[in-house]
Amino acid sequence: MNLASTTESEGVGEEYSLEELVQRTGVSARNIRFYTNRAILPPPGKKGRTAVYSPQHRALLELVRELQSHGFTLAAITNYIDRIPNGSSTETIRLHGTLLAPWLSDRPETLSFGELSDRAGRELTGDEIEVLETLGLVETVDGAHVNVTASLLPLGVEMLNAGLPLVAAQRARKVLDQHALSLAEELTEIFRDTVWPAYKKAGTPSSAVQDAINSFKPLTIHGFISAYERAVNSTKRATIQRRIDKSGR
């Protein structure tokens, strides 16, 4: 359901003018109007001829800013917010940001091409930079600078040193993106639909909920790696068995 299709305000007594919303969120009036026109934000309420905004608008803008800071495109932001249930409370909207944060990549670091080579430990060719771009580790900003996921760059360089072809990087990225997105969405849904209501019912302190959210990612990643290793081993055994069966014919 599209959250922006509702004009429901919550937080009785707490309303913002456009100017106040700008001050609270740091988002310009122009961008607020733009997000409203794009249905990322629900339309404001009205008091006479004056537009009034609710805590829901503020929470959505804070979520938009968080997504933007991690490199989400406008289309990706729209798609993500469209998944938030219609009529969600401010608390629920903020929970989406809290749940999402541990899964997001490190904020990119802007480097010159020379600095990128220094970080890589050697000069990188144009083809190698293209492979890193395909893997999502590097994004060219202009003719002289790139945004880099610094924590994963060493792994990318190891792949380059192993001679990873561009076509292999492209296919691997497509597979990983497809399955990683599905995994993250389903795990987030489990936490939101099962874990969060239990914490809320028990009156668990927000600090404890945050600790649980922060531990959720490493636990699920460990589980994913274990499942992946089992799947790889199973595939190897099946491949070997097929070769044995074929040679015995």
Domain ranges of the chain: 1-104, 109-164, 183-249
- Give the pairing of strands 45-47 and 50-52: antiparallel
**pLDDT at res. 8:** 43
Q: Which two tokens stand for residue 222?
A: 């460990």
Cα separation, 22 vs 70, in Å, equals 21
Q: Does domain 1-104 have CATH number 1.10.1660.10?
A: yes
**pLDDT at res. 71:** 65
Alpha-carbon distances of 166 from 39, 98, 151, 160, rounded to whole Å: 38, 35, 21, 10
Cα separation, 247 vs 242, in Å, equals 9
Q: Which two tokens stand for residue 97?
A: 């940001």
| Per-residue pLDDT of the chain in tens (249 residues, 90 and over written 9) | 445 544 444 444 589 999 999 999 999 999 999 999 998 999 999 999 899 999 999 999 998 988 887 667 787 788 888 878 777 788 778 777 766 665 555 567 889 999 999 988 999 998 899 888 888 888 888 888 998 877 778 888 888 888 888 888 888 878 877 777 777 778 777 877 888 788 888 888 877 777 777 777 666 766 766 777 787 788 888 888 888 887 766
Q: What is the dihedral of CA 173, 178, 182, 188, to 10 degrees?
A: 30
Find out whether 146 and 110 touch, Cβ atoms under 8 Å: yes
Amino acid, res. 165: P
**pLDDT at res. 249:** 62
Cα separation, 105 vs 101, in Å, equals 9
**pLDDT at res. 100:** 66
**pLDDT at res. 6:** 46
